[in-house]
């Protein structure tokens, strides 16, 4: 009995292509899964806090993964958010101060003696308050950091769960696509 096995070299070359493409598949899956994960986490944050999606988006940064560095780094700035982003903008101005609402479940609060700056360029997007009865010093008011908002609303857990659920699907889809592409050759 004689057995002749041919085409092994083609299988080995296909396996080599698959190994080289694996880093690309993992990084692509990570980058594609980040967007829906962030969207769900942002929505969870905005369900609890009175902040717009665009204001929250300006406070984050993403370093995407690539085939050589399989790390996706998602970070939120640690600077406090100005109180002006939680007011009704100019609608929040009252004689007694500025009204604002940070938590959606709570009522509007009034910060007595506060005012929206219109003259000083360096604090043009802040609500200011005087420390004493004197004219100066004037201090900008801030509320909390975006990372604190994410943690308090449970958005960090939502992000991780969504990432884990979607990553496997995307990665398996990439594997099937590469496998079909290399077998056609």
> Do 131 and 48 share a structural domain?
no
In order, the DSSP letters of 38-62 are HHHHHHHHHHHB---HHHHHTTEEE
> Do 88 and 77 share a structural domain?
no
> Do 156 and 97 share a structural domain?
no
pLDDT category of residue 138 using cuts at 50, 70 and 90: confident
Residue 2 covered by a domain: no
> Do 77 and 62 share a structural domain?
yes
d(CA 100, CA 9): 70
> Do 174 and 150 share a structural domain?
yes
Main-chain phi, psi angles of 62, to 5 degrees: -130, 130
Residue identified by tokens 């880093």 is 23
d(CA 30, CA 41): 16
pLDDT at residue 108 is higher than 50: yes
> Do 71 and 119 share a structural domain?
no
The alpha carbons of the chain give a radius of gyration, in whole angstroms, of 26
- By CB atoms closer than 10 A (0-12, 13-18, 19+), residue 41 is buried
> Do 110 and 57 share a structural domain?
no
CA angle, residues 122, 124, 126, in degrees to nearest 5: 105
Number of domains in the chain: 2
CA dihedral (46, 52, 53, 54) in degrees, to 10, reads -160
> Do 136 and 109 share a structural domain?
yes
> Do 123 and 165 share a structural domain?
no
> Do 45 and 72 share a structural domain?
yes
Residue 4 covered by a domain: no
Residue 6 covered by a domain: no
| Nearest in space to 149 (alpha carbons), one of 55, 31, 37, 36 | 55
Question: Tens digit of pLDDT for each residue in 17-61?
Answer: 667 778 888 888 999 999 999 999 999 999 999 888 888 888 888
Question: Tens digit of pLDDT for each residue in 3-29?
Answer: 555 555 665 566 666 677 788 888 889
> Do 127 and 91 share a structural domain?
yes
Residue 38 covered by a domain: yes
> Do 129 and 164 share a structural domain?
no
When pLDDT is averaged across residues 131-155 and rounded to a whole number, the result is 84
Q: Residue 154 is part of which domain span?
A: 12-81+146-184
Sign of dihedral through CA atoms 156, 157, 163, 164? positive
């Amino acid at each position: 009995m004689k057995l002749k096995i041919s085409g092994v070299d083609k299988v080995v070359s296909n396996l080599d292509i698959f190994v080289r493409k694996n880093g690309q598949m993992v990084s692509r899956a990570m980058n594609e899964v980040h967007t829906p994960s962030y969207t769900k986490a942002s929505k969870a944050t905005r369900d609890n806090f009175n902040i717009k999606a665009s204001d929250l988006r300006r406070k984050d940064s993403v370093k995407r993964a690539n085939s050589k560095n399989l790390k996706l780094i998602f970070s939120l700035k640690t600077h406090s958010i100005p109180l002006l982003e939680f007011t009704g903008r100019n609608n929040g101005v009252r004689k007694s101060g500025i009204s604002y609402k940070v938590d959606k479940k709570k009522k509007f609060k009034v910060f007595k003696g506060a005012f929206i700056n219109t003259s000083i360029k360096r604090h043009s997007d802040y609500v200011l308050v005087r420390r004493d009865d004197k004219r100066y010093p004037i201090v900008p008011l801030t509320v909390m950091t975006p990372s604190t908002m994410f943690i308090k609303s449970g958005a960090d857990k939502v992000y991780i769960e969504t990432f884990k659920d979607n990553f496997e699907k995307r990665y398996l889809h990439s594997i099937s696509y590469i496998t079909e592409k290399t077998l056609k050759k």
